[in-house]
Amino acid sequence: MRIRTVASRILLSLCVSLAAFTATAEVVRVQVDRRQPFAGGHEFGQVGAYESIAGRLHFEVDPEATANECITDLKRAPRNASGKVEFWVDFFLIKPVGPAKGNGRLLYDVHNRGNKLALWTFNDTELTNDPVSAGNGFLFHKGYSLLWTGWNGDVVGDGTGRLLAGLPVAAQEDGSPITGKTYVETSVDEKVYSKSFFGSPWGTPAAYPTVSLDDPTAVLTMRPSRSEPAVEVPRDAWAFARREDSKVIPDPTSLYVKDGLKPGWLYDLVYTARDPRVSGLGLAGLRDAISFFRYAEKDNPMRDAIDRAYIFGISQSGRVCHHFLYEGLNRDVADRCVFDGALIHVPGGGKLTFNYRFGMATAYGVCHRGNLYGSEYFPFTPGVQADPVTGKTGDSLARLRAKGEIPKIMFVQTSTEYWSRAASLLHTDVEGKKDLTLDPNVRVYLIAGTQHLGAGSGNGICQNPRNPVKHRGPVLRALLTALDGWVTKGEEPPASRYPRIDDGTLVSLPEFQKQFPKIPDTNLPQDYYRPLRLERGPRWESERIATIVPPKVGPAYQTLIPAVDRDGNELAGIRLPDIAVPLATYMGWNLRAEQYGAGGVLSDLDGSCLEFPKTAADRRKSGDPRASVQERYPSRDVYLSKYAQAIKQLQKDRLLLDADAALMLEQAAERDYWSK
């Protein structure tokens, strides 16, 4: 009871002080809804106890300011009496009770569809949007403060604590609604009769509704794959609706097909939508939130406690990081640095598809699906590159380079990103003919032989068992440590480790197919993701408004994939002990099983694991060309000795911390392939 009373007094005091908040940057009001001890008041060494603060940040931005000129449709947003555009975002801050006891670092975790991922990643906690556990305590023993804010106007509340953003809707000059053609692709893995435009597993996105349930201009087509011709579905055979308990209910953001949606098929819907959000304001809010907590003198709970700020994101959130830098937003409205460093995990070669009219952050492309969303677009590389097909030149960091400041950046990929997310375009030319020189402030790492988020289980919709290798926490803990040393002390981080054309570790699909061992009952990919050049019309470049919907398809960019050894394990990158001293072939790719449609096609973001035969007799019986476990490692001691050597090398290279090394060795010791 006493703790609650003290917490309530602290909350009341903070709310009173913030009520008179004076604008710093473009945050004009801080609304605190909850402030409480974190992790039960546990103390983390010299840093001491932590607390969490949750609430909303309220913004007013100047639509005429140069710092905001990249925000699509900002000048069409409603303005208040001061001529500013208002919006709000949720925030969640975990900080030392005594901020000065921290390490002076703010780690900003870009939420993924409203979900918090940093503690799940670095501290091995459960995945939750209401964190109360410190997990292994890694970030807190180091003294980090953690911040999350809403940025994605697509996300709506579903009771799970997702972070939200209240973004304004753009309108015509006379106040009338903006309408326009937009495009949605729908694909399912089992037969259903309806599906929301951006439904599971993407949470609860606020898709753009049709202007009319009876829109006669709306067109639906279907095809088994993008390379096949489209077949138009008659207008009386589908509707804007959802099916629930055999009832068809009108719904402006769902597609209903009378005969059912075929598993694996692609359904392309073009319709007229209305009320586009000013989605790019989410990025401006991200910028201004960090600026407030770094620099504000008044009513800032982190005042004078932040020396450095790092941005971190996984998958979609990783693309947010790259896109934020691409838009040149890493200087605030007072021209001060926002982030000193970026740790960008599994973004592939993509950025975002939402800072344009009717854009949706949820949309992205992979080999089979989403090819027309254009989540991978030129320029790809954080350095100068050219496109001989379009004649364009570009640099994804050009806007920041013009301002004379490039933060320290680490791109971290798994094998899946090379197969399914065009990761090679980060460091090769668009024809896949030569390696490009990385900016000195950029590092690129491949975690060899791993899948998108790691630690897969079962087969899911795939032909092969999914890849079980755990990589996210151990590698990212080491790289965050290196990033901090790079930023604060000028210590060079581990050298980039990624497959290259010049040394033969980055290859074409035919070359890969020749290299991969002929494992019994194992099919090989016949294709992988190569993003398309898309033409959206004359207003696209200047206004980010598409007039060709869906876009006109041009030639694909040439991507490449990692080369493998005689076991099928990848040669280049950070080779964790499970890859360097393998018990299986670990891949970043998998193929769809026939019963889920599009059988044999590359699965979206899944990897594979094909175990080695246990004994020589097993190998001979199955006809497997790979040496058996016992032929490689005659005893457990031999295996553990080699495993320990691989761990020591990663420690020496600063790619594995001591605590993770000890845990890996302990887990390896529990494996038994030698008992009879």
H helices of 217-302, where?
Answer: 281-295
Indicate if the pLDDT at residue 17 is higher than 90. Answer: no
Q: What's the sign of the alpha-carbon dihedral 319, 283, 76, 157? A: positive
Domain assignments of the chain as residue spans, ordered by start: 2-169+279-429+442-447+475-489, 179-274
314 pLDDT above the threshold of 90:
yes
Task: Please tell me whether residue 201 adopts helix, strand or coil conformation.
Answer: coil
Average pLDDT on 43-50 reads 97
DSSP letter for 203, please: -
Parallel/antiparallel/unpaired status of strands 442-447 and 85-96: unpaired
Sequence letter at residue 554: G
SS3 at position 639: helix
pLDDT band at 25; cut points 50, 70, 90: low
β-partners of residue 268 are 185, 221
Owner of token pair 């931005």 = 61
Q: Return the bridge partners of 570, or none.
A: 564
Closest listed residue to residue 290, CA positions, set 107, 155, 36, 120? 107
* Residue 150 exposed, middle or buried by CB count within 10 Å (0-12, 13-18, 19+): buried
**To which residue do tokens 């000065």 refer?**
100
Contact between 10 and 35 (Cβ < 8 Å): yes
Tokens 């999914």 -> residue? 466
Distance CA 13, CA 194 (A): 50
188, two tokens:
């399912």
> Residue 616: which H helix or E strand, with range?
helix 616-622
Q: Bridge-partner residues for 445, per DSSP?
A: 412, 497
Residue 676: per-residue pLDDT? 73
45 Cβ neighbours under 8 A, 6+ residues apart: 141
Closest CA to 197 of 370, 410, 433: 370
d(CA 154, CA 386): 33
At 202, is the pLDDT very low, low, confident or very high (cuts 50, 70, 90)?
A: low
Q: How far apart are CA 446 and CA 616, in angstroms?
A: 32
pLDDT at 37 over 60: yes
Between the two ends of the chain, the Cα-to-Cα distance in Å is 59
pLDDT at site 203: 66
* Phi and psi based region of residue 104 (left: phi greater than 0; alpha: psi -120 to 50; beta: remaining): left
pLDDT tens-digit series, residues 359-398: 999 899 999 999 999 999 999 999 999 999 999 999 999 9
Take residue 304 and report the two structure tokens written for it: 């004078």
The string of pLDDT tens digits covering residues 586-617 is 999 999 999 999 999 999 999 999 999 999 99
| Rounded Cα distance, 183 and 188, in Å | 17
Q: With 60 as the cut, is the pLDDT of residue 14 above it?
A: no
How confident is the model over 471-500, as pLDDT tens digits? 999 999 999 999 999 999 999 999 999 999
Q: What are phi and psi of 121, to 5 degrees?
A: -85, -60
**Residue 176 neighbours by CB distance under 10 Å:** 8
Burial tier of 526 (Cβ tally within 10 Å: 0-12, 13-18, 19+): exposed
Determine contact, residues 285/149, Cβ cutoff 8 Å: yes
Six-digit token pair at 394?
């570009």
**Is beta strand 532-535 parallel, antiparallel or unpaired with respect to 552-556?**
antiparallel
Dihedrals phi, psi of 461, to nearest 5 degrees: -95, 15
SS (H, E, C) 144-160: CEEEEECCCCCECCCCC
Indicate whether 421 pLDDT > 70: yes
Q: What is the pTM assigned to this prediction?
A: 0.95
Cα atoms in the Cβ-side hemisphere of radius 13 Å centred on 355:
23
- Kindly give the pairing relationship between strand 408-414 and strand 442-447: parallel
Mean pLDDT calculated for residue range 320-331: 97
DSSP one-letter code for 43: E
Residue position matching structure tokens 């001529």: 83
Contact 77, 63 (CB under 8 A): yes
Q: Which of 558, 562, 560 is nearest to 515 (CA)?
A: 562
Question: What 3-state class would DSSP assign to 391?
Answer: coil
Q: What are phi and psi of 443, to 5 degrees?
A: -125, 145
Structure confidence at residue 9 (pLDDT): 38
Please tell me whether residue 490 adopts helix, strand or coil conformation: coil
Calpha distance 17→11 (Å, rounded): 10
Instruction: Please say whether the beta carbons of 648 and 658 come within 8 A.
Output: no
Helices (H), 390-527: 398-402, 415-420, 472-489, 509-515
Is residue 19 predicted with pLDDT exceeding 50? no
201 prior amide bond cis, ω within 30:
yes
Lowest mean pLDDT among 153-167, 518-532, 548-562: 153-167
Residue 437 has pLDDT above 70, yes or no: yes
Cβ–Cβ under 8 Å, residues 221 and 268: yes
pLDDT over 90 at 6, yes or no: no
Sequence-ordered strand ranges (E) for 542-631 = 552-556, 561-562, 584-587, 608-611
The listed CATH number (3.40.50.150, 3.40.1710.10, 3.40.50.1820, 3.40.50.720) that belongs to domain 2-169+279-429+442-447+475-489: 3.40.50.1820
Q: Reply yes or no on whether the pLDDT at 560 is more than 60.
A: yes
d(CA 261, CA 194): 7
DSSP count for the chain of H helices, then E strands: 15, 26
Give the H/E segment covering residue 55: strand 48-61
Q: In this model, does residue 16 exceed pLDDT 50? A: no
